């Protein structure tokens, strides 16, 4: 069957009078996990949402699993299959297909806590209508399956800021759950020509240069990291898509102010040098590309050392696999 939206059930989420949400799940050979996501959506008190799944070329019978859930679902379930292209390409497709005003990425190993969508809608609608054009969305927190908060939490219950300042000025650590306006995400698609992995932070940082978000000290999602998941393979994925990684770090070094310290900028220049070396980009070209040659010169030796460490670790890992 050709890639297309070919499965849809439940009533439409469209409503001219209320906020609607697209809960988006990209998946690849994770059919066994999708029912947990489905059950968490069944436990939502707010029903003005659709569940949109983009299957990145699974071979584990994901379509049949989704079809069975759709048959019993009280909310719309939409399914799209594409050839294996990476999560970032799946997100772009999901954004194009979404019918909700807000767009929430819920990975196949994550769940929403009961009532999360109700709280998301509530906090979005607390932003005065005349100010919403300057907000990209709302941000909440994640916990693990035991209920333990992942990260530091927020310094106050409600914080209007950018996602960059959230990390730099307010020093918030750990995973956060981002819910963005769909129309904003359509303005900032993931680049699709930089390899099989592009970190979400690349796009979130681009959005942060033009929009604020309302951050709320509430847990909306539960994370269940898998041994073969993206988080567990972060370094390997970045090494395999070094052009995407170096672009992320280059753009971070160019962010004006936003509470970014000199030490942090040097660290990101080091990572820019690190992944430039993985990409085969010579020192002379790096020097021509950077905004601050002084900070790059401070970070480049560190990046070179980490690059060599990456090569050693990956070589050892490859030897163990053999």
Report domain extents, the chain: 5-223, 234-321
Q: Say if CB 233 and CB 192 are below 8 A apart.
A: no
Cα 114 to Cα 24, 44, 73, 117, 153: the distances in Å are: 17, 5, 17, 8, 19
The DSSP bridge pattern shows strands 49-55 and 77-81 to be parallel
Phi, psi of 157 (to 5 degrees): -65, -40
Residue found by looking up tokens 């809960």 in the block: 23
Distance CA 17, CA 62 (A): 34
Distance CA 123, CA 139 (A): 9
Distance CA 12, CA 119 (A): 21
Residue 118's Cβ-side half-sphere holds a number of Cα atoms within 13 Å equal to 9
Closest residue by Cα to residue 247 from 179, 201, 180, 215: 201
For 114, the token pair is 């009961």
Structure confidence at residue 232 (pLDDT): 43
- Using DSSP, state whether 150 is helix, strand or coil: coil
At how many degrees (to 10) do helices 242-253 and 262-278 cross? 160
Cα 222 to Cα 47, 111, 114, 172: the distances in Å are: 19, 5, 10, 18
pTM beyond 0.95: no
22 DSSP β-pair partners: 50, 103
Phi, psi of 100 (to 5 degrees): -80, 155
CA gyration radius, the chain: 20
- Using DSSP, state whether 2 is helix, strand or coil: coil
Structure confidence at residue 29 (pLDDT): 94
Distance CA 310, CA 53 (A): 34
- Cα 203 versus chain centre, distance: 8
The answer for residues whose C-beta is within 8 angstroms of residue 153's C-beta and 6 or more apart is: 141, 172, 217
**CATH T-level fold of 5-223:** Spore Coat Polysaccharide Biosynthesis Protein SpsA; Chain A (3.90.550)
For 199, the token pair is 């970190």
Q: Say if CB 246 and CB 196 are below 8 A apart.
A: no
Distance CA 297, CA 2 (A): 50
Closest residue by Cα to residue 25 from 108, 120, 109: 108
For 62, the token pair is 């994901």
Q: What is the mean pLDDT of each run of 10 residues along the chain (322 residues)?
A: 52 60 96 95 95 96 94 94 95 97 96 97 97 98 93 95 96 95 98 95 97 98 69 79 97 92 96 98 97 97 97 77 41
For 16, the token pair is 């001219």
């Amino acid at each position: 069957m050709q890639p297309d939206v070919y499965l849809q059930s439940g009533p439409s989420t469209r409503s001219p009078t209320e906020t609607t949400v697209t809960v988006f799940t990209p998946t690849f050979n994770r059919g066994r996990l999708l029912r947990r996501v489905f059950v968490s959506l069944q436990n939502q008190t707010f029903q003005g949402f659709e569940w949109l799944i983009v299957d990145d070329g699974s071979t584990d019978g994901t379509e049949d699993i989704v079809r069975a859930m759709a048959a019993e679902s009280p909310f719309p379930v939409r399914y799209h299959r594409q050839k294996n292209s990476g999560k970032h390409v799946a997100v772009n497709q999901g954004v194009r297909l979404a019918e909700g005003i807000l767009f929430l990425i819920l990975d196949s190993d994550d769940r929403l806590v009961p009532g999360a969508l109700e709280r998301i809608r509530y906090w979005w609608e607390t932003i005065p209508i005349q100010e919403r054009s300057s907000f990209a969305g709302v941000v909440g927190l994640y916990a693990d399956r035991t209920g333990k908060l992942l990260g530091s939490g927020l310094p106050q219950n409600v914080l209007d800021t950018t996602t960059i300042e959230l990390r730099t000025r307010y020093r918030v650590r750990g995973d956060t759950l981002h819910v963005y306006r769909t129309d904003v995400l359509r303005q900032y698609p993931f680049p699709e020509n930089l390899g099989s992995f592009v970190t979400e932070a690349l796009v979130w940082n681009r959005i942060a240069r033009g929009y604020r978000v309302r951050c709320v000290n509430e847990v909306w999602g539960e994370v269940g990291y898998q041994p073969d998941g993206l988080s567990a393979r972060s370094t390997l994925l970045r090494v395999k898509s070094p052009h995407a990684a170096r672009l992320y770090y280059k753009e971070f070094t160019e962010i004006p102010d936003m509470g970014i310290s000199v030490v942090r900028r040097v660290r990101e220049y080091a990572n820019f040098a690190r992944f430039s070396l993985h990409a085969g980009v010579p020192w002379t070209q790096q020097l021509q590309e950077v905004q601050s040659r002084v900070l790059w010169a401070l970070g480049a030796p560190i990046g070179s050392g980490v690059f060599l460490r990456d090569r050693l670790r990956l070589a050892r890992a490859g030897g163990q696999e053999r």
